[in-house]
Amino acid sequence: MESLESFTNSNSSWPNLRGAFIATSGASGAVENADCSIATNIFVLFILRFGTGLVPGMTAEAAWTITNLTYYLVRILCLKFLAKTAQTIITNIITFIMFHWVLGVPFQLNQGEYEDMTLWEQMDKGEPFTPAKKYLTAIPIVILV
């Protein structure tokens, strides 16, 4: 039987991929420097624009106007009612559960080799203090401060 090192675990190899910081690092937004990733902002804008474009009889200009107004209105409301500290605490709880509590992988590509390991244990073959783990540890600390 082959060792775990011969398999590529796509569930935990993403922090080492080129450009992974774009999906996880905070970006300065136009409204009050909201902490949100660049990829998330682009995805939300795409979904909003696609949704408004499906409305029958709506022009492209009106769809873009509604997309922009909805996007900024939601960001302002989120910033007003969900303080940065509360947002960080919720994010940290979800991250803790997903990284340190949930076992296994969401798909079965490697015959169950990772069923008894958390995502944190799967990353970098379990080695502590790798650059990816240091980066993922520093992000919540920097956001909170």
pTM of the predicted model, to two decimals?
Answer: 0.44
Q: Output the furthest CA–CA distance in the chain (Å, rounded).
A: 61
Where in the chain are the domains?
16-81, 84-145
Q: By CB neighbour count within 10 A (0-12 exposed, 13-18 middle, 19+ buried), where does 47 fall? A: exposed
Each residue's pLDDT, cut to its tens digit, for the chain (145 residues) gives 455 555 666 666 666 766 665 555 544 444 444 445 667 777 878 888 888 888 888 888 888 888 888 888 777 776 666 666 677 777 778 888 888 888 887 777 777 777 888 888 888 888 888 888 888 888 777 766 6
